[in-house]
Structure 1
Amino acid sequence: MRKKWCSILMALLVLLTTASGLATARAEEVTLKPEQGSLTIHKYWAETAEDIREEGTGEEDKTITNPAVKGIQFDVYLLKGKGSAPATPPSDKDGWSYTKNGTELLVSKGSETHTYALELKDSDAGANGKTNATGELVYTDLTAGFYYVEENLSASAGYEVQGTGNAEKQITSGVKPFITAVPMTNKAGADWNTDVHVYPKNQGLNPQKKADMPSVNAGDKVTWTISANVPNDFSEYTKFLLTDELDKRLNYVADSIKVVGLDKNEAELVALVEGTEYDLTHTPATSGTKEEVIVTLTGAGIAKLAAAKGITRMAVSFETTVNGHSTTADENTIDNEAEFEFENASKPGGDTATTPSAKVHTGEIAINKTYSGGDQSINKSAQFQVAASENDATGDRYLKVVLDDSDTYITKILAPGAAGYDAALHWIALPSHGVHTEALGMSADGKTFYVESFKGLETYKEDAAQNKTYQAYYLVETVAPDKYNLLEQPIKVTFDKDTSAKHVHTSAVENKRGFTLPNTGGMGTLILLVLGIVSIGSAILLIMNKKKQAV
């Protein structure tokens, strides 16, 4: 019996030993690092810091919908330790920093530095490979090891952010260089991932400039809002300023500046304080320069925007007054842009990003004046005034204007009842056909401003849903040339979607000749008249004499 139990125990021992050996072999098989792997770089555009999302795992992610970026070069280097450098490079998560120095990488923390040789690898697209239209750049058959990946923006001129409406997007924050293992431990930590996927996303400032209304009268105020993304690495920016050179038809309104941080819904989260978190420089225009507004964020301002949670963009807004300082025909569109200047780790020498042009316009009413019969011998021009309504037109209540200090251009258009209307200048158009009896510009008596056309008028209003209400005006002929009749009724002029891109509405106006009346008389008629009077007088005297004789 004892022998039987001994045999059983021996058999169990053999089974346990075999199982243990198999388990050890299985464990060694699973944990043994493969000798090769591949690296796929997926290049995407990140509109905001939120688009950066969480840290990658090295595994493929098919949920990303950001636009791909084509034409970005990455330089991938195999790291080889030199001297006492550890086989596994110290991690940046532990406070180590990476500095590329020629063909070496210095990994430093405090006074301790390790050196690694850099061995440049070719991608499947060859040397100096760039991301394709789907944003991918693939490296296959890489020797197992650690790789330093660096985005080379200087060699990526002509890159393209894919997708409709993305052609003008500009990378302003490059991806920080990083180290990845190929192959690497998988997400579960139980096996090896031989096909490593990384998702470096670029951010851009995506600068924008908008006006709060599309069309105005000369003299109206327009609020401009200039905004830009607050990138994920904004705390590392060492310089950030905005310059806006104003169009000659815009004048900055003092004390109207505001600098804020916005959330993804463009709601204000924080406001910066002038003098501590930003500086304002306003330079009036001179004969050779434009009026200029410069907003410079201080270190405190940059830190405040970078630290505030939920901020996706920053915005600078201010007011301007629109004037009528146009010097050429059909010059009715105010076309203005602004420029951000910045410096960061990606652009240590500094760079700029310019907003798309923002537009606001005024309208112009030109008068195409003709005369019945094609008479070219008129000795003075017709004169027109303009009213904002039919009632004003029939009641002789016309728009008036205020000029700049040099009496050269309009700074304000006033309707009846507006403050300053009574003292404002009469606004009279002299159509170009024929001879002007008055010179264009300020009249000699200082009461009238003569023009060839009515410029600086609002063409339409727009509500929050961008529905347009087109403006109508009424032309009234207040003086007609000799031998021609005044127009009997005002002429209604309505700006609409068919108005030319130059925002000019040309109204055709023809004056009719007066009818020929009988001559008021020459000398021959006068003689006949005298003879008639004498004959009548003689008859009266004859009748009176006969009456006397009868008596």
Structure 2
Amino acid sequence: MKRNKSKVYALIMSLCMMMSLCTGITLHAADSDPTTGSITVHKLKVKNAEDYEKMKEQGNGNFISKDDLPQGTQPMEGAQFKLEKVKETGDKLDVTTAEIDDSFQAITGETDAQGEYIFNNLNFGIYKLTELANSEAQTIMKPILIQLPLYNEAYKSDPSKSEFLYDVHVYPKNLLHQDSPSISKDVKVEDNQHASFAYYEEFPWIIKTGIPADIASAKKYEITDVIDTQLDYVDAKEKVAYRKSGDTADKDVLLTKDVDYTLSYDNGSKKLTLAVTETGRQKLANAINGQVVFTFYTKLNSTAQLGVAIENKAKLDYVNADDKRYQPESETPEVHTGGINVKKVDLDDITKVLPGAKFKIYASEDEAKNQVNALQRDGKDYEVTTGADGIASFVGLKYGDTGKDATTDELTYWLVETEAPTIGDVKYNRLRDPIKVTVNANSHELTASYTVKNAKTNYELPFTGGVGTIIFIAGGLALIGVALLLIKKDRKA
């Protein structure tokens, strides 16, 4: 009897455990299923009609990385979309006849600088996504229906993927107007994309924009440039002019600030904006098919990274009389700067670093030998002292020729030790000759430091006026004395 009771008890306990496990599984599944979803719009613009025609493939709701997006596409900022919910009738819905569900408050959103807008926290159902009027696009997306959650087509070929998508991604593409005015941007000189400068050295950027035939009736002609944080804008050095087609720079016609154009710079966003006024647009009509030439200056600040390209591009915002909008962007020219390290060590013990040594830097060997025309920093000779680690770092140095990029060129400098270190009561000897160094994209790294050795004393030399010398001089004087006595005796005789 006791044995039977034990069997029954064991069976009940087993059933309880199985029920608890089943309950746990059910609860876990319920917790993992989302109750809402999202629709993310990734708006793409296509400049070239040929590229646009190649983009016939439709998305399937999955996220697409930037590297896998079709070539020739760029994110479009400022595109507006409207999301509405439609009533489900049980039949197959058509976007043109689907009835709007008024119980859902329609949402309007605008894409950001990455071309994205997210419609979040959406209840399950069928939604209608409509692109609103876009003056920049030749054509806009036709309205589409999106079911949420969406069956994942990729699941059919790869069961490891989610069967349903709760966060749906759509990638509408717009072909831009094909008659856009041109824009280009150069640095230092026209038709140049690469240049190198020292910290705080002022240099020009040159933006050139095309003047379309309908400029006189245009509603907007605005050039913007968001300056990199590693650059500082130099105020009141800009020049704005127009250049007729076929003319050279010496024939540029200057425009007048606050009459023909306005110029503003926002320190927070670092956005520089040149807006041509109606008066200015009328003047530009004298140079149809010519160019606006806008020159402004910046300088590298102390945050500028060494050995890397610091890029900057510009954008034209043009709206014609028919409200067609064009927003072409320029190429992306770059500037770069470099650095060099020198490590000071003891000649006899190279593991011993020497703080307190001072160095100046020169552009040529002759200047270094004569110690004239040292490179300047903050209005005085650029002099650096070795720190506790024995290293002196020169930063923000120009390297390379105009037209060479940040990674391929280099430039030679010469270092002069201006003061030798003193460690305790030991004063080291100063190096007499300049040290040749090379600045390039990697020379600022500590692993590329130039090691300079200092001696405590000179090599041992014979003691001037030593014993041997004294004996020699004494013997010589004695011989001279004897000779004089002999001469004196001869005269007496």
TM-score, normalization by structure 1: 0.43
Larger radius of gyration: 1
